[in-house]
Amino acid sequence: MMKISFTINKKPTTVEVDGNTPLLWVVRDVLDLKGTKFGCGKAACGACTLHVDGEAIRSCSYAVKFVEGKEVTTIEGLGNADNLHPVQQAWIEEIVPQCGYCQIGFMMATAAMLEKIPQPTDEDIDNNIVNICRCGTHYRMRKAIHRAAEIKNQSPQNQTS
Amino acid sequence: MRSKQKVLLLTAGLIGSMILLFGYASPPNTPTLPAEEESLQTGLEAFDKMMAVLTHKRCVNCHPSGDRPRQGEDSHLHNFGVERGPDNHGVAALRCESCHQAENNNFSGVPGAPEWSLAPLKMAWEGLSRIEIARSMLNPANNGGRNLEETVKHLTEHELVLWAWNPGVDSEGNPREKPPVPKDEYIKAVKEWAAAGAPIPEE
């Protein structure tokens, strides 16, 4: 057991767990944030995607000991009903989810991509967003990603003075 | 002394001298290699050992000649369309570090080591003969500007290189195959090869 201190959705926190526990289980079971999902446990599907220091990380394959001193962002911290993240807003507008299970991972991967590629092409989307969706909602996801980029680039903090 | 005795004494002396002169001579034709030839031979044997490791899939899977890493015992193209990206660490939302950390993760079967990433294209080994790999390794234009000493240090001390002997298990829990030469022997071979002047055989 070890104490690991980090911020979770901008809130400082300390957990005392076995350092090799996957971050996914610390987030879900210790911190009670159920948005991030278990899909495969082998970093193959992306359902567990969250951000560590702004980078998309597959939390099922990330030992919590590596998160010491870092900033973790889950879907709960991406935005909320009063202050939607552009990705969340676009996902609602385009009515993307079917069963919804994989969608958190897709949204987190998309949010991470848009920080680095503000106007992704379809090829950028193909290369960066490789999560698995068994319902096949990819077509609406692609539209939502383009829409999210549009919303983000129109937002006040992105306007040039 | 009588003359007969003198003759006997002289003969004995001559025979004795002959024995002394020739009796302790070296046995005929024991071949000995000159020092340089022996050193070259050692260097080439060490080269074979070193290259048996460096051409193993644990190394070549991440020294591809294109923009896709390979994975697995059959060196198939890495799943999920993972690619090199602009800095050998993947693309914006699919970095190597998205899944690979500084240690193996034996829960998920994802291997890990510090600085997990693709070797730069200049260090591509996929499809190269061991002679071509060795020449590339010694070329500062390809090896990141390293001299022989720095190359040896990289080959024998870098954690990502030495990961090959601690490759963890895959997602089914099966241990990954290690290179065919034990780590200590490999390190010794690299140093012997360098000490012999880093010879590369003509093939």
For B116-132, the pLDDT digits (tens) are 999 999 999 999 999 99
Percent of chain B beyond pLDDT 90? 78
Chain B residues touching A109 at Cβ < 8 A = 93-94
Whole-number Å distance between alpha carbons of A123 and A138: 14
* A56 to B93: CB separation less than 8 angstroms, yes or no: yes
* A20 to B80: CB separation less than 8 angstroms, yes or no: no
* A55 to B81: CB separation less than 8 angstroms, yes or no: no
**Same domain for A50 and A111:** no
* A128 to B91: CB separation less than 8 angstroms, yes or no: yes
Average pLDDT of chain A is: 96
**Domain assignment of residue A43, yes or no:** yes
Whole-number Å distance between alpha carbons of A26 and A22: 7
**Same domain for A68 and A6:** yes
Question: pLDDT at position A88, please?
Answer: 98
Residue B81 tokens, joined: 């369309």
**Same domain for A92 and A64:** no
Domain limit, last residue, from A45, A78, A111: A78
Residues of B numbered 124-183 whose beta carbons fall under 8 angstroms of chain A's beta carbons: which are they? 171
Whole-number Å distance between alpha carbons of B152 and B145: 13
Question: pLDDT at position A161, please?
Answer: 45
**Same domain for A74 and A90:** no
Domain boundaries, chain B: 35-195
Range of the domain at A41: 2-78
Residue of chain B minimizing CA distance to A61: B108
What CATH number is associated with residue A114? 1.10.150.120
Q: pLDDT digits over A45-90, tens only?
A: 999 999 999 999 999 999 999 999 999 999 999 998 999 999 999 9
Res. A160: pLDDT tops 60: no
Chain B residues touching A57 at Cβ < 8 A = 97-98
How far is the CA of A115 from the CAs of A55, A119, B133, B170, in angstroms?
Answer: 9, 10, 39, 32
Instruction: Count how many domains chain A has.
Output: 2
Residue A108 in contact with residue A48, Cβ under 8 Å? Answer: no
Q: What is the mean pLDDT of residues A96-106?
A: 97
> Residue B97 gets which letter from DSSP?
G
* A116 to B81: CB separation less than 8 angstroms, yes or no: no
Q: pLDDT digits over B88-112, tens only?
A: 999 999 999 999 999 999 999 999 9
Spell out a b/e string for A114-135, using b for 16 or more CB atoms within 10 Å of the CB, else e: bebbeebeeebbebbbbbebee
Question: pLDDT at position B24, please?
Answer: 47
Chain A residues touching B99 at Cβ < 8 A = 43, 58, 61
**Domain assignment of residue A161, yes or no:** no
* B105 to A116: CB separation less than 8 angstroms, yes or no: no
Question: pLDDT at position B41, please?
Answer: 87
**Same domain for A91 and A144:** yes
Q: pLDDT digits over B166-197, tens only?
A: 999 999 999 999 999 999 999 999 999 999 99
pTM as predicted: 0.85
Chain A residues touching B87 at Cβ < 8 A = none
Chain A residues touching B102 at Cβ < 8 A = 66
**Same domain for A60 and A32:** yes
- CA end-to-end span of chain A, whole Å? 51
Whole-number Å distance between alpha carbons of A119 and A151: 11
